[in-house]
Structure 1
Amino acid sequence: MEAIQVNRFGGPDVLVLTELPDPVPGPGQIAIDVTHAAVGLVDVYLRQGLYKDREGLPQPPYVPGLEVAGTVRALGDGVTGFAVGEKVVALPGDATGGYAPVYIAHGADVVSIEGYGIDPALAAAVIPNAIMAHAALTGAARFSAGESILVHGALGAFAATFPGIARQLGASRVVGTVRGARMGMAGATKLPYDTVVSSEQLPDALAGEKFDVIVDPVGGAVRTQSLDLLAPSGRLLLVGNASGDWEHRIDGNRLWYGNLTVTGFNAGGYLPVHPEAIRPGAEAALKAAADGLADTEIETLPLADAATAHERLENHSAGGRIVLTP
């Protein structure tokens, strides 16, 4: 098969189309014929070598890609509940393997989308992230019906799945923020926000409104500013660092004095410890997608254009999710 491989850490040019043998599922695994592979910022960070010293994360040579949709190609020994040809999506595994025609997933990380009428490009783009959003809100943030939520980077790959899940959980109000340059896109979004405001006009754009939960995939100055936007006993949920500000710190005394909670959510660490979160998350994610609560913008590119996809994520010119087709 022809797959994209990273042979060394570096810029987008290290993404090279390479001939590799078709992988075969082992015990407990499922082989998937990939129709769509989503491209995410974590793919970019891994390729850049940002996490090169962290145990368990990929080292060159490796095939990047975490989120795929396709059909079941073959079942490894011991796998039940799936049939060859069944439409499925796979949750992120070890952060490798997605940019290829054939993907190997652990059976527990595969979710059937058969019968839901969900476009496979949308499935790859939103279902895995929506499952993680459900786990983050119900587990890490302890979100309850009637609470309000603010989502920074509202149109981003992960952030865009929070409003639909929050609606399912009974949110009283769902507000998003984006950079000023993206306000035009925000005005056209089908995502179920009550309103989207410019992060560059905070806090004035919110006219004193406070939130029970704030989802922050951005970091940096936005993270500090979020502390002033939390309601009493509010929770700040950290789910990423798109700003690239890795030196940012939060004043613990502000948390103490304001009765605030800051909690991190890293799906790669959370879901293996809380596998019980996958099934309810999958049910919520599939319903959100089927009900039109996760209709994010999607652009499809050929697998060979993976470097272009990475470039567009790096220069912030992607209007929504980019999905590769082998």
Structure 2
Amino acid sequence: MLAKYRRTADGCRPAASVTAASRAAIDVTHAAVGLIDVYLRQGRLKDRPGLPQPPYVPGLEVAGAVRALGDGVTGFRVGEPVFSVSGSGPAGGYASVDVVPAATTVSLEGTDVDPALAVAAIPNAVTAQLALTRVAHFQPGERLLVLGANGGLASVFPGIARLLGAEAVVGTSRTGTTDSDLPYDQVVGDIAALGDQRFDVVVDPVGGRLRSDSLQVMAPMGRMLLVGNGSDDWSHTVSTNDLWIGNLALLGFNVGAYLPGHPEAIAPAAEFALRAAREGLLPLKTQTLPLSEAAEAHRRLEKGGVGGRILLTP
């Protein structure tokens, strides 16, 4: 049995027990477009267990209103505003109606969080909270470095780290700046610009050569979270001897593979992410396109340089 979660006056809590097959139909108002959608369409992740394979409807993250509930699903009502957690189930978000796992659907009722912000930021913020707390074991007073600081996933880490008590949050970007109100202490253009600064945790959604270069700014016992491959470099490797000599760790985290086996993690992570949104710590930039321009959304992501997230509306 999986627990199905919704927000109550006391936060996101289990509202009912449902089977793994239980679903909720959502009238989609916003669907997020991510690099994972691009990789799936390109066939780069073909034959990976649990991931959709062509032919299929793309889209892993949606926000909208409950249209209908499957057998055994309670705790939601028709018309209730909700969003689905990133990587929580089969694709299908690029549509006017999506059917998602009830176990990983979260209510927005009473949160005052806009659905566009919810789908743009909260699923990724859930990923960030889980990665920092359950994988990197981030502690208050530690220092965080985020590579590719303005990317859709990267940009939620500073807000989550702030709530976790980070001493400092620094980012890198190709421009050396951030054009939003993301809560970074500093954003630099490359690793060399960090000088003598050292970091307890490095978040890497970029990969490639930048991954190796970042080892030099990690503190002893530092942990690097591997959460993406925005560089599109699938052959780069890191010297394990460098990890050994430097007392360093590389930790991979794929939320889509993690959540099905750990549904109990969704409630506290979603509550934490919603708190960050309510406190203004997730000020993501968004671009909104009509669903008919989904191909254009993919072209923009493939070209690179998209700060924040692209959303589709039916």
User: Is this contact kept in 2: 1:27–1:79, CA < 8 A?
Assistant: no
Do structure 1's residue 310 and structure 2's residue 298 form an aligned pair? yes
User: Is this contact kept in 2: 1:70–1:120, CA < 8 A?
Assistant: yes
* Equivalent of residue 311 in structure 2, options 294, 299, 323: 323
Do structure 1's residue 34 and structure 2's residue 28 form an aligned pair? yes
User: Is this contact kept in 2: 1:58–1:94, CA < 8 A?
Assistant: no
Q: Percent identity?
A: 60
Report what 1:190 is aligned to: 181
Do structure 1's residue 79 and structure 2's residue 73 form an aligned pair? yes
* Equivalent of residue 170 in structure 2, options 172, 175, 186: 175
Letter in 2 for 1:191: L
Offset at residue 108 of structure 1 (A) = 1.2
* Equivalent of residue 38 in structure 2, options 35, 44, 48: 44
Report what 1:103 is aligned to: 98
Report what 1:300 is aligned to: 288
Tell me the distance in 2 between the aligned counterparts of 1:94 and 1:322.
20
Report what 1:7 is aligned to: none
Flag the 1:286–1:116 CA change in 2: closer, same or farther, 3 A. same
Stretches of structure 2 lacking an aligned partner (at least 5 in a row): 1-19
Please give the secondary structure, in 1, of the residue aligned with 2:216.
helix
Tell me the distance in 2 between the aligned counterparts of 1:93 and 1:143.
24
Tell me the distance in 2 between the aligned counterparts of 1:241 and 1:95.
21
Using the TM superposition, name which of 131-140 and 269-278 deviates more: 269-278
* Equivalent of residue 255 in structure 1, options 239, 243, 246: 243
Letter in 1 for 2:41: R
Report what 2:253 is aligned to: 265
Tell me the distance in 1 between the aligned counterparts of 2:277 and 2:214.
29
After TM superposition, list the pairs within 5 Å mapping 1:11-160 onto structure 2: 28-91=22-85, 92-160=87-155
Tell me the distance in 2 between the aligned counterparts of 1:95 and 1:300.
23
TM-score, length-scaled by structure 1: 0.88
- In the TM superposition, what whole-angstrom CA distance separates every residue of 1:270-305 from its partner, at most 9, and x where no partner exists? 122222221111011111111110111101110000
Letter in 2 for 1:286: L
* Equivalent of residue 220 in structure 2, options 232, 236, 257: 232
Tell me the distance in 1 between the aligned counterparts of 2:305 and 2:226.
24
Tell me the distance in 1 between the aligned counterparts of 2:90 and 2:24.
16
* RMSD value, Cα: 1.3
Report what 1:23 is aligned to: none
User: Is this contact kept in 1: 2:144–2:203, CA < 8 A?
Assistant: yes
Tell me the distance in 2 between the aligned counterparts of 1:272 and 1:169.
25
Tell me the distance in 2 between the aligned counterparts of 1:39 and 1:65.
7
Offset at residue 112 of structure 1 (A) = 0.8
Tell me the distance in 2 between the aligned counterparts of 1:325 and 1:172.
38
User: Is this contact kept in 1: 2:89–2:100, CA < 8 A?
Assistant: no
